[in-house]
Structures are given as structure tokens and as C-alpha cells.
A and B are shown apart, each in its own frame.
Chain A
Amino acid sequence: MNWIYEPWPWYVSGPLIALIMFVLLLIGKQFGMSSNLRTACAAMGAGKASDFFKFDWRSERWNLMVVLGAVIGGFIAANYLSDNTVEINPQVAKQLASDYNLKSAGDTYLPPEIFSSEALGDPQILGVLLLGGLLVGFGARYAGGCTSGHAISGLSNLQLPSLIAVLGFFVGGLIMIHFLYPLIF
């Protein structure tokens, strides 16, 4: 029964992600996981502060159902379908341990040094999580989409703007990991 807990290789996961996009297209929707953040803002009354949130958010409720489903999917996968470890390139794991003292590669799904509840007591970690989320939310709306909306949906539809956005994702990611991580962690 161990195969149930094994991670799925890329050539299984990638095609399944494409399948999700097709199913959504066939029911008249677009694959994108960040527009629900705008829907959430609108539902909380942000329309009073900016016209950007003045739209009929009720028509976008489907979006929030997908989010709820993703939460349930995460619960099912973590509790019943996984041993919650992630094997990465041993060299990268070694570098994480020596440079940043993050030693849990291969043992956990996320590094507890950043994501355990105890780590939240460290104001720096709290700041990292909050600032990171802020950048993701702000950047996704500014760019008009995230990894799913641009890298999968947009590029599949051969959109030049999506190619520019995906290049931006990687420029930002590489700057963060290679230049800012040594200053932050």
C-alpha cells in the first residue's frame, strides 16, 4: 500500500493540471487561483474603498467554492495520501542546512523553522510570512494573474502578456533566492 503515499511524478501531475484547466473551460470558466482574492475583498465590503472591488462578486462565488475544495483536498492529501516528506536534490538540501540552518529537507513537507506554529513567535518569521503574502497578492493583481492564470492558462492561449508576466515571476524569484535570502535568513 506504500505507493499511495508516494509523491506523483511531474509527468502525472502536469497533465492533471492541464485537465483541470480544460474542465473549467468546458464549464465556461477560466483557470486562475488568485482572482478569488479580489472576490474575497469585494465580499468583505472593499467596494466602499475602491471601484476595483465594485463588481457583482456573487457571480464569482464559484471561485470561492474552488478554494474551499482546495482546502479539503489539502486535508485529504496530507492526512490520507502522503507521508508528508519531500525529497529534494541532496546538494540543495545540504546548502539549505549549511547556509540557512534549515535542516528538515527530506523529513517534512514545509520547513518547520519557518512554518511551525512556534516559529510564529519570532517577529522576523511573522514579518516574512506577512510580507511574502502581501507581495503575492499585490503582484498577482497588478500582473493580472498568477502561476495558474498566466503560466498555465495564459501561455496555453499563446498570450504575449503572460510570457512577460512569467518572465517577471522568475526574475523576482531568482532575485529573492539568490540575493535577498542571504540578507533575510
Chain B
Amino acid sequence: MRYITYLVIGVFFGIIMYKSEAASWFRIYEMFQFGSFHMYGIIGSALVIGMIGVQILKRASIKPLDGSEMSLNPKDKGWKRYLFGGILFGLGWALTGACPGPMYVLAGSGYFSILIVIVGAIVGTFLYGLIKDKLPH
């Protein structure tokens, strides 16, 4: 039953990504050319509502439905991994026009060459696991 819930959330997420055009290469290219407010509006409005909502959840000490702790863990301190990892991610995001969520959405929409990108992303994740102890964090 729980799995059905996650599946439904995923379907809803996929439709939003596709219909908002956040999964479109053109929109990502246009964003990095500062050609439209569209992508900034999507991220910005999600963020403003997200910030307000998270503050309310925290102040009202609302617990998840199963009574566990809310998954709002602080990120580890430091800056190197965030800056270096972020830049590498940004290079890939702009090169393929897809970040991890939209990749799956595009696979479903019938662009099968996105599977190459997904394979690349899995291999990239694996490589990180292999050499992570040698990287500055």
C-alpha cells in the first residue's frame, strides 16, 4: 500500500515536470542565457512556499503521519564538496539539459536517448563512491 503512495507521488511529479517544461532542454538553455523568467519563477515560487511551509512545520512541531521524525536534517558543514560537486553537476545539467528528476520523466515520454544520460549518471554515482575518500569535502 505504501508503495502505491510513492508511485502516485512519482506520477504526479512526472506530470508537473513535463507540463512545466522544466524537463525541456530548451528551457534549461534559455535559463542559463537569462532569456526568460520561467525557470526562475518555478524554482523561486517553490522555494518561497517551501521556506514558509518548513518554518510552520518546524514551529508547530508537526510529526509525519507514522509518528517518526521529520526528515529535515541539517546538511554536513563545510563548503568544498558543495562548491566543487555543485559546479560539476551544473556542467552536466547544462550539457544534457536534464537534472535527475526530468531524466526519468523524459525516459517515459519516449526520448530513449535519455537512457544514455541515465546510464552515465549511474556510472558517475558509482565513480564517486570509488574515489570519494580522495576528494576534498
By a CB distance below 8 angstroms, the chain A residues around B22 are 13
By a CB distance below 8 angstroms, the chain A residues around B18 are 73-74, 77-78, 81-82
Contact pick for A139, options B41, B89, B97, CB 8 Å: B89
Q: Does B109 contact A (CB under 8 A)?
A: yes
By a CB distance below 8 angstroms, the chain A residues around B87 are 139, 168-169, 171-172, 175
By a CB distance below 8 angstroms, the chain A residues around B108 are 70-76, 78
**Which residue of B has the minimal Cβ distance to A78?**
B109
Give chain A nearest CB distance to B34 CB in angstroms.
9
Contact pick for B35, options A92, A140, A152, A171, CB 8 Å: A92
**Chain A interface residue bracket vs B:** 35 or more
For the residues of A in contact with B, the DSSP-based class is helix
By a CB distance below 8 angstroms, the chain B residues around A96 are 29
**Whole-angstrom CA separation of A110 from B31 in the bound complex:** 15
Instruction: Contacts A139-B90, A143-B86 given; indicate if A152 touches B46 (C-beta within 8 A).
Output: yes
Q: Residue-by-residue, is A33-66 near B (CB-CB < 8 Å gives 1, otherwise 0)? A: 1101110110000100110110000000111011
Closest 8 CB pairs of A and B: A69-B10, A73-B14, A168-B86, A172-B90, A133-B120, A137-B124, A135-B92, A143-B85
Q: Which residues on B are within 8 Å of A, measured CB to CB?
A: 2-3, 5-33, 35-47, 49-51, 53-54, 57, 62, 64-66, 68-79, 81-101, 103-114, 116-130, 132, 135
Q: Could you list 22 A-B pairs, sorted by A, with CB under 8 Å?
A: A37-B100, A37-B125, A66-B6, A70-B13, A70-B101, A72-B14, A72-B108, A73-B14, A78-B109, A79-B109, A129-B114, A130-B117, A140-B121, A150-B86, A152-B47, A155-B51, A168-B82, A170-B90, A172-B89, A173-B31, A177-B29, A177-B32
